[in-house]
Amino acid sequence: MESSVIRARRPRAVLLVGLPGAALLALCVLSMVSGALSVPLTQVWDTLFGHAPSTRIENVIWSVRVPRTVLGLAAGAALGLSGSLMQALTRNPLADPGVLGVTAGAAFAIVFAVGVLGLGSVYSYIWFAFAGAFATSLLVYLLGGLGRSGTTPVKLALAGVAVTSLLFSLTSAVALTDPDALNRYRFWSAGSLAGQSDHVLGQVLPFLAVGAVLALACAPALNSMALGDDVAASLGLRTGLVRVQGVLAVTLLTGGAVAVIGPVVFVGLVVPHLARILAQYAGVGPDHRWLLPLSAVLAPSLLLAADIVGRLLARPVEIQAGILVAFIGGPFFIAMVRRRRLAEL
C-alpha cells in the first residue's frame, strides 16, 4: 500500500520541479527578446553563440539583457530563499525581508555609505548593507517580543512596519543632503533590474551563493523546529546555532540583493506561500527540503515577470519591477493580516 502511494505521488513531485523550472526558462527567453527593441528569438540565439546579425543587437543582448536576466535570477532567488527562511525560523506567515524591515535596514546603510561616506562601488558599500540588514533583524525581533504575549506574527509585522517607516524617513533625509545621491536614490529605491553590469553582478554573486548554501543547509533542521523548539532539542538539534546560521543567511541574501536591485519588497512574502500550495498539491507536505529550492525558483520567476511587464507596458519608458511587485504583494499582505486565524497564533 505504501509503495503504491509513493508511486502515485511521484508524478506530482516531478511536476513540482518541472513546471516552475519550465516557467522560469520561458521567462528568461522572454527577458532576452522583450524591451524597447524587440529582438527575434532566432537573432538572440545567434548572438549568444557568436553570430550576431549586427553590432547593435550584440550590444543590447550582451551588455543589457544578459546581465539583467542573470541579475533577476540571482536576486530573485536570494529574496525568495530569505523570505522562506524567515517564515520558517519565526513560524510567522507574515515574515519577509521587506515587511520586517531587513530590506529597509540594508537600504539605509547603503544610502548612508554612498551619500555621507562617499563610497561608490558595490564591493565597498555592500558591507554596510550586511550590517544594516543584521542590525535591523535584531531590532525588529526585540521589539516584536515586548509585552506579556511575547513574540507573535502580527506584533513582528507591526514592529517591522514601524522600523521600516523610520528607516525610510532617515534614508530620505540622508539622500536630500546630496543632489547626486538623491538622483541615484530615486531610481534605485523603486527596485529595478536595469542599469547594472556583469561586473557588479560578479562582485555580489559570491555573497549570494554563500547565503544560498547556508539557507539550503538549514532545511532538515527547519523541519524539526516546525514541531517546536522543545521537540527539536529532544532530537539533538541545537536550535540556537540553526537560528544564527539562518540570520547569517538572511543577512547575506537580503543585503546582497538590495545592494544591486534596490529595496524590492513582498517577493519573500508571496513566494513561500505559493511554494507551500504547490508542495501540498504534489503531496510532499511542508518539507523545507522542497520548499526552499522551490522558493528559489518561483521568486526569480515573479521578479522577471514583473520586469518584463514593466518593459512592455509603457514602451519605450520602463516601469520598475519593484513597483509592479508591490501591486501584487500589497493586497496579498493585507489579506494575510485580515485572516482571523493570525490573531490566534
Give the Cα-Cα-Cα angle 172, 106, 201 (nearest 5 degrees): 110
Q: What is the pLDDT of residues 325-338, one digit of tens each?
A: 888 877 777 776 66
The pLDDT score that the predictor gives to residue 3 is 45
Q: What percent of the chain has pLDDT over 70?
A: 89
Per-residue pLDDT reduced to its tens digit, 168-190: 888 888 888 877 667 767 777 77
- To which residue does cell 547594472 refer? 196
Instruction: Fill in the DSSP letter of residue 265.
Output: -
Average pLDDT over residues 265-290: 86
What the chain holds in terms of domains, given with CATH numbers, is 39-344 (1.10.3470.10)
Q: How many CB atoms lie within 10 A of CB 246?
A: 24
Q: What is the pLDDT of residue 180?
A: 67
**What average pLDDT does range 71-99 have in this prediction?**
88
- Please report which confidence band the pLDDT of residue 313 belongs to, taking 50, 70 and 90 as the band edges: confident
CB atoms within 10 A of CB 110: 25
Distance CA 172, CA 244 (A): 31
Report pLDDT digits (tens) over 213-253.
999 999 999 988 887 777 877 877 887 888 889 889 999 99
Question: Among candidates 53, 37, 55, which has minimal Cα distance to 45?
Answer: 53
pLDDT given for residue 148 in this prediction? 67
The runs of H, that is alpha helices, within the chain are: 2-33, 41-48, 55-59, 66-90, 102-115, 122-144, 153-176, 179-188, 198-217, 219-225, 229-234, 239-261, 267-282, 288-313, 321-338
pTM (two decimals): 0.86
Residue 308 has pLDDT above 70, yes or no: yes
Question: 3-class DSSP state for residue 149?
Answer: coil
